[in-house]
Amino acid sequence: MSEHIFIKGKRNGLELVFDQSIDFEVIYNQLKNKLAAATAFFNEEAAMHVRCDRNLTEEQKNKLVSLLANYGLKYDEQHMNKDNNGSCSISSAQEVIFEIQKNKTLILNKTLRNGQKIEYEGSIVIIGDVNPGAQVIAGGNIHIIGTCRGTAHAGAQGDKSATITATRLIASQLRIASLITRAPDNLIESQTAETARILRDTVVIQPANC
């Protein structure tokens, strides 16, 4: 199935862009699947507000309002600007924006490759993969909407309550505060998102919805 929804990182949050020419039910179902897959990333730390610029029927609007509300997201309709031909320009394309309310969250829409390193004093959200040899270091939590195979260090300033969450968490090394764990040689990959956290002075990995 073709992908008609794309999530991009913005300075103030996450931007979800989708094709206006596609039937609403196709867009709705793809949005529903994306939200369900990313449930673990919608929490108190990343309280989100949603803006939507699409001409919808009341029935369609109500479906979106209900769907977004299930994830703590608010629907706020706005009007698009169109070019001289009556079509939407890239800058005014249909979009849903998730605005991170807390200031210290860095949003990155990229895959980190071998040798690349991202370090930030707050929390980090990465929309993409963290490949082997790449490093992510955060003073707060780390959320990876993708696969983490590299090194992730949350709570780098000593915060033992920090967590590391990824759609696929198969990191070569996980570190929270001063505690370190490495992936076992016989690691069995989980099919669901997982979160690493400190429990009883040990870094443990659990399903993300625990």
| Residue 181's CATH number | 2.160.20.70
| pLDDT recorded at residue 182 | 79
Question: Which tokens go with 197?
Answer: 């956290």
pTM of the model as a whole: 0.61
Same domain, 112 and 175: yes
Mean pLDDT of 136-162: 93
Distance CA 145, CA 167 (A): 6
Containing structural domain, residue 132: 105-207
What percent helix, strand, coil does the chain show, rounded to 5? 15, 40, 45
Same domain, 83 and 49: yes
E strand or H helix at 13: strand 13-18
DSSP H stretches of helix in 53-107 = 58-69
Same domain, 160 and 190: yes
- Per-residue pLDDT reduced to its tens digit, 87-146: 332 222 334 444 444 447 787 878 899 999 999 888 888 888 999 999 999 999 999 988
Question: Which tokens go with 201?
Answer: 């002075």
Nearest to 34 by CA among 61, 62, 70, 58: 70
Please identify, among 69, 99, 129, the residue that sits at the C-terminal boundary of a domain: 99
- Per-residue pLDDT reduced to its tens digit, 176-191: 999 998 766 555 666 6
